Structure 1
Amino acid sequence: MGNLDGKVALVTGGSRGIGRGIAERLARDGALVAVHYGSNEAAAKETAATIAEAGGRAFIVGAELGVPSDVDTLMAGLEAGLRAHGESTIDILVHNAGLNIMGRPIEVLTPEEFDQMVAVNVKAPFFLTQRLLPRLRDGGRIINISSVSTRIASAHGIAYPMTKGALDVFSHSLAKYLGPRGITVNSVVVGYTHTDMTAQVLADPANVERNISLTALGRIGQVPDIADAVAFLASDDARWITGTKLDVTGGVNL
């Protein structure tokens, strides 16, 4: 196996896209991975099955985020999964699940849409972390998936970058608070990346060309680019890194 043998990880939004890549990579490194999903149970089962076929261990946890009692539901599923595998604590928490209601500039974004993004991208990570702190081992890892949109202004969407900016502040402040326990907290900044969720946007050659032109390394990111960075922060190699943002964008808008 790998350098995460004996560790337990929870990846929110782990059934597809970047979350799936992270879950598979952490499992390949030896961790038992709780694959969280919001609504697509079939995708979560497929991710867990892929992990098992590769010799890893995983179980699924279903809970829609951004709704009443979301953390209660997630915790109940997580605890059941941990018990089934003879575990009671976790070592790695990856806040990957996020919501971006696209194409909604400030003139048309509704209060309900704003609240929904805040609930999923800020409130859920905050209160899930709160509930998991007693179960997170000293020396553990919290990794928050952020966005390049926090440093690149866009007229097309303001609320989503605001929520990711709040998540970055959460990371920075929590790193200070949990330092005495040896728990590191970091953000991973994601740029233009090929996933099923970006497939429609990147199906337009003009969008691909524009995004590549803005990226120093001259290509669109791939899921393993992000997953490998998360795996590094989850490993002991990153034990002296906390309270920072790791820019994993290939150099967007340098």
Structure 2
Amino acid sequence: MENLFPKVPLDKWVEKFVDYLGAHLGGLFDIISAVIAGWVDLFSFLFNGVPAGVFIPILTLLAWKFSKRSIALFTLAGLLLISNLGYWENTMETLALVLTAALISIIVGIPTGILCARKDTARDLVMPLLDFMQTMPAFVYLIPAIFFFGLGKVPGVIASVIFAMPPTIRLTNLGIRQVPAELIEAADAFGSTPTQKLLKVQLPLAKQTIMAGINQCIMLALSMVVIASMIGAKGLGADVYRAVTQIKIGVGFEAGLAIVVLAIILDRMTQNIGRKHV
């Protein structure tokens, strides 16, 4: 078979395409890098600038407001444990990375999902791309990210965005398409413009589904922290990666437990926001 059909030089084509982007869009990548690094640094400064003794009660009250008492108690106990173990600063670094990646995914993903819901052509073009983004091994994203943005937090955020954005787009599209046709017809009968129909009918009714997409986006971004640490991103992922390379089981368990606590807090809060404010 190899003699009959010569190998398609796909690897060379991809490398030439990446080289072309690097040569002609270097300035754009520098701007993107500066914006992402600025957001991560801002979040990190805000989170680490507030003492843990002040920040923990604030997060506990937010958990109580947006979810329920049991989640607030878990938030209080979990964050106190993280602080006691000495992982508070790295947890805040991880939270900054996750929120930056989630924010970018939401800013890009929700409008894209709305476009897919309104235009079948856009949906047919975007959905295969989302399949590609979700099935491609996460490590592969790191190669072009390093090439364009170097080592550090920026390529980690970029890889997290690629990995975490698809659920936001998919569930925004799904939520809007599931709005009953009778309500759309009623809005049309009252003379609503497309923008009014979107803001006053479709988005409010699709809010729970959209929030489920945001929840999944945050969880997927958090799942990338260990992989991102391999290319220089700070936070709990770096602690886990260091423990693995040095075979320190106890340290790895502590850092992994901090990630689990943070994941549960974010998951329960975003889930309950979607359920309570529909």
What TM-score do the two structures reach when normalised by structure 1?
A: 0.27
Structure with the higher strand share, 1 or 2: 1
Q: Which has the higher contact order (CA 8 A, sep 6+)?
A: 2
Indicate the structure with greater helix content.
2
TM-score by length of 2: 0.25
